[in-house]
Amino acid sequence: MSNTPLEDQVHDALHRRVDSIQHAPLTVTDVRHRARRIQRRRTAVAGVAVAAVLAIAIPFGLSATGSGQRSDVPPATQPPSPTPTLQLGSTVMVDPRGAEVVEETPVPLLDVDAPSLITPDGTTDLPHVYDTITPYLDGYVGVALNDQPGVPPVAIEFLGADLRVDDGGSPTGGLIVSPDGRRIGWSEYDGTRWRVFVADPAGQVEWVETTFPPSAETETVIPVGFVSDEAVAVRAMYDLGDTKTFVAGGGQPVEVQGLLQADAASPSLGVVAGITEFRPQGTCFGVVDAIARDGDPVWTTCDHRLGPFSAGGAYVVGISAEADGNGSPTITVLDAATGKEVVTFEAVLPRRTVGGFWTQMAWVGDEALVVRMFSGDDYFMMRLGLDGSVQRIGIPSAGVSGLQVAVPS
C-alpha cells in the first residue's frame, strides 16, 4: 500500500530530525527524495502528526566490516586556529542569494544523484550512493546505502584503487574520521555483539578493537567522535531508549558518566558533549571529561543543542532549540572551553518561506563551517567563516538531491 502525502511528510520529517540529532545515515530512498519533499508546506494536521512521531523517535542503526590491503594515503593537515575578527556575540546574516560565489569546496562533498565524491582535487565517480566516505589505503572506505533485498540497508564498504568493493557488509553504527585524518573509526555487528574499530587509513598501524557484551543488533553502538588518537566516544542504544556513553580504545569499553546521550567529541580536549538533563522548559546539554569519566560537566547550556567541535578543539557548534524538520534558523559558534557565544549565523529567508541550516556539517580547521542551507524548495552549500565571511559554494549537482558534506565533523 502506498503512503499518503501526510505519511510521506511525517516519515521525511522524522528522518530529518533523527539525522540532525544523531548524524544517522538514511536509506537510499530517503536520500534521493529528501530534496524533493524537504520543504513541502505542512498543514496543521501534519504538524500535529510530526510532533507526535518526533516525541517518541529512537535512532536507527547502520552497518560495516573489515578491510583489504592498499597503499599509503597522506594524512590531512590542519590550518592554525584563527582569532575571530568579529566582536564576541556578533550575529552574521546569511543570505545565500547575495553571498559571494566560489567555484571550489574546502571540504569533500558528495553528489547523491551522480553519485560522486567532489574534492578540491577533482571529482570521483562512485559505484553507488554513500552517506559518508573517506580515503583508506589506496582506495576509500564509506558508509554505503543499499535498497536491494537481502543486504544490509546501510553498510561500510572498503573500495580498492579501481573503486570496486573489496570488502564490507556487516551492520554498523557508522563511520567517523579524526580531525587530522590520521584515524578512522566505525562499529560493526558480528551477529552476536557489537565491536568498535579504530584504524590508520595509511595502513601503518594495526587496528584497535573494542568488544561489547552480547546484545541485539537493534541495540546499536554509534561512534560520535574521537577523544584521543586511539580512542573514540560511542553512544550505545539499549532497549526502551536507554542510552549510555562509552570510550572505546581497545579491550573492553569504559563507561563515561554524566550524559544522557553523547552527540560529539574532541580529541584535542579529550571531552564528550551531549544531553545532560531533560527539563519541563527544555533540554540541557554539556561537556564532560572523557578521561576522568566522573560525569562532572566542564560547562552546561540550556540555550543550545551542542554539535561538532572544530578541528583544533577551540570551538563547538550550538544549534538552535528551535530547529525542526526544516533545519535550524541559526547556528552559534561557542567557545569550547567556556560555552560563551563567539558568533551566530542567522538564515535570511524570503517572507513566508521555511528553511534553515541542515545540522550535518563539516569544520574547515578552526576557521569556518561548511553547511547545507535550505530556503523554500532551494538548497545551498555555504561556507561560513568565523571572521564573518559568507560564501556560497557554486558547484552544480547532478540532480534534485543535491550535495552534502562527505565527512560530517
Percentage of residues in the chain having pLDDT higher than 90: 63
State the average pLDDT over residues 308-335: 93
Confidence at residue 76, expressed as pLDDT on a 0 to 100 scale: 37
> When comparing pLDDT for 13 and 301, which is higher?
301
Return the CATH number at 40.
2.130.10.150
Residue 377 has pLDDT above 90, yes or no: no
The total domain count for the chain is: 1
Q: Per-residue confidence at 87, pLDDT binned at 50, 70, 90?
A: confident
Give residue-wise pLDDT tens across range 26-38. 444 444 444 333 3
Residue 7 has pLDDT above 50, yes or no: no
Residue 134 has pLDDT above 90, yes or no: yes
Return the C-alpha cell found at 10. Answer: 511525517
Confidence at residue 9, expressed as pLDDT on a 0 to 100 scale: 36
- Look up the pTM and report it: 0.80
Confidence at residue 242, expressed as pLDDT on a 0 to 100 scale: 84
Residue 81 has pLDDT above 90, yes or no: no
Q: Kindly list the strands in the beta sheet with 355-364, ordered across the sheet, starting from the edge strand earlier in the chain.
A: 100-102, 390-393, 378-385, 368-375, 355-364
Q: At what angle do helices 5-22 and 28-37 cross, to 10 degrees?
A: 110
Give residue-wise pLDDT tens across range 222-269. 999 999 999 999 999 876 678 999 999 998 999 999 999 999 999 999
- b/e map 350-375, b = 16+ CB within 10 Å: eeebbbbbbbbbbbbbbbbbbbbbbb
Question: What range defines the domain where residue 302 resides?
Answer: 5-405
Of the ranges 16-25, 62-71, 287-296, which is most confident?
287-296
State the average pLDDT over residues 198-208: 94
Confidence at residue 14, expressed as pLDDT on a 0 to 100 scale: 31
Residue 111 has pLDDT above 90, yes or no: yes
Residue 73 has pLDDT above 70, yes or no: no
State the average pLDDT over residues 332-344: 97
DSSP state string for 64-97 = ----------PPP--PPPP---SPTTEEEEE-TT
